[in-house]
Amino acid sequence: MPLPAAALASSVLAASALSSDAGRPFRDHVVVRVHAASVREVQAALALTDDLWSHGAGIGTFDMRVAPAQRKALEAAGIRHEVLIPDLEARIDAEHARLSRPPEGGVADDAWFLDFKDLAAVNARLDAYVAANPALVQPVAVGTTFEGRTIRGIRISRAADPASAPAFLFNGCQHAREWATPMTVMYIADRLVEGAFSDPRLADLLQRSAVYLVPVVNADGYVHSWASTANRLWRKNRQPNADGSVGTDPNRNWGYGWGGVGASAVPGNDTYRGTAPFSSPEVAAMRDFYVARPQILASIDFHSYSQLLLWPWGWTGDPCPDDAAHRAVGLAMRDAIAAVSGRSYAPGPIYSTIYPASGGSVDWSYGDQGVLSYTIEVRDTGTYGFVMPPAEILPNARENLDAALAMMEATLDPAIVAPNGDLPSVLAAGQPTTVSIAVTPTTGAVIGASLRVRYAGESAFSAIPMSAGAGTFTASIPAAPCGRTVEYWFEVACSEGTVAYPSGAPAAVLAALAQERIVRFEDTFDAAGTPAWSVGAAGDNATAGLWVLVDPVGTAAQPEDDRTPAPGTRCWVTGQGVAGGAVGAADVDGGITTLVSPALDGSDLSAELVYWRWYSNSQGAAPNEDSMPVEWSSDGSTWSLLEDVTANAGAWVEVRRSLASFLPAPGAFRVRFRARDLGAGSVVEAGVDDVRVERTGCQHAPADINRDGRIDGSDLGLLLGAWGSGGLPAADVNGDGTVNGSDLGLLLGAWTA
């Protein structure tokens, strides 16, 4: 049965509307890490919590808060779990006691960050920044909360005209309980204020831009989560709902894709989207703030926790139009964090990295305003969760400061240059390779781009103009002989200067090695004649849907086309589909059917076994009793597992396994595919196509200039004919860019006796 983990997660999150019990509402509650072994266990566990702390739940581990009775029920259900936070209420109480002591710390002083600060303390410090540096720091009033508080912020800038300079927005605390986030935003403010004239990096950034900082967007919720009698784990704002419940989730209330997936229509739920887009006054105020400042280039909306670096979309799984730019800058932010503390923050679009969530701030700020927009989920990954020890405030803030600075630097370049997909590190020898970059202008206008290439060892790069199309530039790396390394980089000319990719080029360049594919075995199953493969093995007992080699007829479960690019036609499938037939018309029934290969060349352990497989199982997500073990054997009688295919792909999937990873010694081997329908009533369909044993390398010795398998007089003649020139790349035996004495030495040394 398919487990809609994301949908499940958000509905459970949504169900966590906490009552505003006075006293010690989380007394004897614990946060547990559940190890769920099956879909049933996931569902049973989720039924036993009102407050999932992980961002999703599925087979494997996830964290959730349980009351004593819920914990007992978890134990009674025999679901494996361990206690992550045994004393949640005690921790909240200790936090409260600690924070009831009088505050300390002046403006220029890390002491302020030694513990969490309530709204009054945050606002007092904003005032202190302004008072101490009126020319540098301006107060900003974003708007008014439901309960009438001012959503406050500051602007820090050394630009000649801060109101029109390229701008950034860092905000925290859309969610009340995420106390690490105002501290993070305040720390960024703190460092910028302190370093504006003394730290060259910060001075430069502040001369070129204006930075807006809004530490507490959801001021009412934040105050509520601080009140000793209220709810430390409050998430939403404090706006009453028609049904008597309280609160809209600000991060489901923004007007881009509002009302879609991952948001609740039920007012009492923790992800309640509100009555309409921007029905929350806090969110409407933030919208107006953005709209009034079209010069905002990029923003970070800080949340906690999980250590994630997220960008749009949250409302759909499709990549956003500027996914490449978001990814490139996001990876720079991730690397900046890792350089500060070694912490890893997982990067990716919201929808696939955390969960589907519509009505979030970054979908709107990017989708409506064109701002490069990030959500960072700060520390930690579950040990403390929302109730972070105060000693973590500064380390957390320091790493996120550097993420913010990396984002600012990347965005203040006239354009963001990002690879479109993966840039190659291996080239097919003798063939040009297309490369493409995405170019997103930020402060400049893009004029053109060029690809710079040279053979490793050459001194000069040649410039190849790139052709432009909607936000991308494309060019080809010229064909290179096998074994030659090509170095390359990109230069994008903008109205305000040039941008190099990778940054620092041409000192830092990309490199790719030209290689041939040396095929030792290949069967695309398209040639006429009797196949060398056989069907059947001891233990086979399927009654229908046995492996057949056909031009497949597609069904909802089976491919319509083989995998081989045109003109390929045939592949192995488990039972030929019936045109227009039911999904289960020709699937595997009643047991196992096995497809066995002929002996394959395993003499070179540096080669890879490559195959394309199709596996579709109506039972959906693993685990279930059906699967397709893929096995290998050296003797045709003892078989060992290569992989057990359980994921319901319903698509051709390429699998590569190095022979060295499974063959103990060089020698012939076979593989077999065992499609199994073991449980009752499921539709299992499998396919196999394009099986190869191959390796990359160079077929010919470098000195075999004419590639005839011998190194002799004709190679010498070619080398001497190309002497001193680059006209015949193959004659440049050592690949250093010129044909000279060292190439001659290599040729003579390799002379075929």
User: What does the binding site for ligand 0X9 look like in residue numbers (CB under 6 A)?
Assistant: 175, 178, 251, 303, 310, 314, 350, 354, 357, 360-363, 375, 377
Residue 61, strand partner residues: 35
Q: Which does 282 bind (CB under 5 to 8 A by kind): Zn ion, ligand 0X9, none?
A: none
Residue 695, strand partner residues: 518
Our CA angle for 281, 222, 373, nearest 5°, is 65
For residues 730 and 726, what is the distance between their CA atoms, to the nearest angstrom?
A: 9
Query: Where in 11-40 is the site for Zn ion (CB under 5 A)?
Result: none
Residue nearest to ligand 0X9 (CB): 360
Q: Which region, judged by CB under 5 A, interacts with Zn ion, from 71-79, 123-131, 254-262, 298-306?
A: 298-306
Q: Which does 450 bind (CB under 5 to 8 A by kind): Zn ion, ligand 0X9, none?
A: none
Tokens 């784990």 sit at which residue? 233
Q: Which does 743 bind (CB under 5 to 8 A by kind): Zn ion, ligand 0X9, none?
A: none
Q: Which is nearer to ligand 0X9, 173 or 645 (CB)?
A: 173
Q: Which is nearer to ligand 0X9, 118 or 178 (CB)?
A: 178
Q: Which does 314 bind (CB under 5 to 8 A by kind): Zn ion, ligand 0X9, none?
A: ligand 0X9
* Helix or strand run (H / E) with residue 719: helix 713-721
Q: Which is nearer to Zn ion, 175 or 191 (CB)?
A: 175
Beta carbon of residue 71, minimum distance to ligand 0X9 (angstroms, whole number): 23
The runs of H, that is alpha helices, within 265-392 are 281-291, 323-341, 350-353, 361-367
Sign of CA dihedral 490, 492, 493, 496: negative
Beta carbon of residue 336, minimum distance to ligand 0X9 (angstroms, whole number): 20
Tokens representing 562 are 């083989």
For residues 652 and 658, what is the distance between their CA atoms, to the nearest angstrom?
A: 20
Beta carbon of residue 178, minimum distance to Zn ion (angstroms, whole number): 5
Number of residues that bind Zn ion (CB under 5 A): 3
For residues 672 and 626, what is the distance between their CA atoms, to the nearest angstrom?
A: 17
Note if the bond before 506 is cis, omega within 30 degrees. yes
Beta carbon of residue 11, minimum distance to ligand 0X9 (angstroms, whole number): 13
Binding mask 244-283 for Zn ion (x = CB under 5 A): ----------------------------------------
Q: Which is nearer to ligand 0X9, 282 or 377 (CB)?
A: 377
Tokens representing 530 are 């009797």
Q: Which one from 41, 95, 282, 377 is the annotated catalytic residue?
A: 377
Q: Are 714 and 706 in contact (CB under 8 A)?
A: yes
Beta carbon of residue 17, minimum distance to ligand 0X9 (angstroms, whole number): 14
Beta carbon of residue 312, minimum distance to Zn ion (angstroms, whole number): 16
Q: Which is nearer to ligand 0X9, 310 or 337 (CB)?
A: 310
CA Rg value for the chain: 31
Beta carbon of residue 313, minimum distance to ligand 0X9 (angstroms, whole number): 8
Is 508 buried (19+), middle (13-18) or exposed (0-12) by CB count in 10 A? exposed
Residue 686, strand partner residues: 615
Q: Which is nearer to ligand 0X9, 273 or 700 (CB)?
A: 273
Tokens 């989730």 sit at which residue? 249
Q: Which does 310 bind (CB under 5 to 8 A by kind): Zn ion, ligand 0X9, none?
A: ligand 0X9
Q: Which does 375 bind (CB under 5 to 8 A by kind): Zn ion, ligand 0X9, none?
A: ligand 0X9
Q: Is 522 a catalytic residue?
A: no
Q: Which does 616 bind (CB under 5 to 8 A by kind): ligand 0X9, Zn ion, none?
A: none
Among 71, 117, 238, 303, binds Zn ion (CB under 5 A): 303
Q: Which is nearer to ligand 0X9, 314 or 545 (CB)?
A: 314
Beta carbon of residue 161, minimum distance to ligand 0X9 (angstroms, whole number): 31
Q: Which is nearer to ligand 0X9, 360 or 702 (CB)?
A: 360
Q: Which is nearer to Zn ion, 175 or 700 (CB)?
A: 175
Contact residues for 614 (Cβ-Cβ < 8 A; gap 6+):
558, 559, 573, 649, 650, 651, 652, 653, 685, 686, 687, 688, 689
The two beta strands, 467-469 and 534-535, are unpaired
Beta carbon of residue 61, minimum distance to ligand 0X9 (angstroms, whole number): 17
Q: Which amino acid is at 321?
A: P
Residue 73: CB atoms within 10 Å? 16
Q: Which does 362 bind (CB under 5 to 8 A by kind): ligand 0X9, Zn ion, none?
A: ligand 0X9
Beta carbon of residue 300, minimum distance to ligand 0X9 (angstroms, whole number): 11
- Of 541, 536, 543, 549, nearest to 636 by C-alpha is 536
Q: How far is Cα of residue 589 from the mean position of the Cα atoms in its chain?
A: 39
Q: Are 608 and 659 in contact (CB under 8 A)?
A: yes
- Of 35, 33, 36, nearest to 3 by C-alpha is 36
Q: Which region, judged by CB under 5 A, interacts with Zn ion, from 70-78, 171-179, 268-276, 431-439?
A: 171-179
Q: Which does 239 bind (CB under 5 to 8 A by kind): Zn ion, ligand 0X9, none?
A: none
Beta carbon of residue 378, minimum distance to ligand 0X9 (angstroms, whole number): 9
Q: Which does 360 bind (CB under 5 to 8 A by kind): ligand 0X9, Zn ion, none?
A: ligand 0X9
For residues 721 and 165, what is the distance between their CA atoms, to the nearest angstrom?
A: 61
Q: Which does 602 bind (CB under 5 to 8 A by kind): ligand 0X9, Zn ion, none?
A: none
| DSSP state string for 256-279 | SSTTSTT-BS-TTSTTB--SSTT-
| DSSP state string for 59-102 | SEEEEEEE-HHHHHHHHHTT--EEEEETTHHHHHHHHHHHHTSP
Q: Which is nearer to Zn ion, 175 or 379 (CB)?
A: 175
Among 125, 175, 326, 570, binds Zn ion (CB under 5 A): 175
Beta carbon of residue 12, minimum distance to ligand 0X9 (angstroms, whole number): 12
Tokens representing 293 are 């400042």
For residues 596 and 687, what is the distance between their CA atoms, to the nearest angstrom?
A: 13
For residues 464 and 357, what is the distance between their CA atoms, to the nearest angstrom?
A: 43
Q: Which is nearer to Zn ion, 178 or 689 (CB)?
A: 178
Q: Which region, judged by CB under 5 A, interacts with Zn ion, from 169-177, 187-195, 554-562, 678-686?
A: 169-177
Max Cα separation, the chain? 95
For residues 453 and 436, what is the distance between their CA atoms, to the nearest angstrom?
A: 14
Q: Which region, judged by CB under 5 A, interacts with Zn ion, from 178-186, 310-318, 344-352, 445-453?
A: 178-186
Tokens representing 82 are 């361990």
Q: Which is nearer to ligand 0X9, 125 or 303 (CB)?
A: 303
Distances (CA, A) of 506 to 8, 78, 409, 424, 456: 49, 60, 19, 17, 13
Beta carbon of residue 616, minimum distance to ligand 0X9 (angstroms, whole number): 32
Q: Which does 54 bind (CB under 5 to 8 A by kind): Zn ion, ligand 0X9, none?
A: none
- Of 252, 221, 219, nearest to 238 by C-alpha is 221
Helix (H, G, I), strand (E, B) or coil at 378: strand
Tokens 């305003």 sit at which residue? 369
For residues 442 and 194, what is the distance between their CA atoms, to the nearest angstrom?
A: 27
Q: Which is nearer to Zn ion, 15 or 514 (CB)?
A: 15
Tokens representing 425 are 């590190």
Which residues of this chain interact with Zn ion, rule CB under 5 A?
Answer: 175, 178, 303
User: Active-site residue numbers?
Assistant: 377
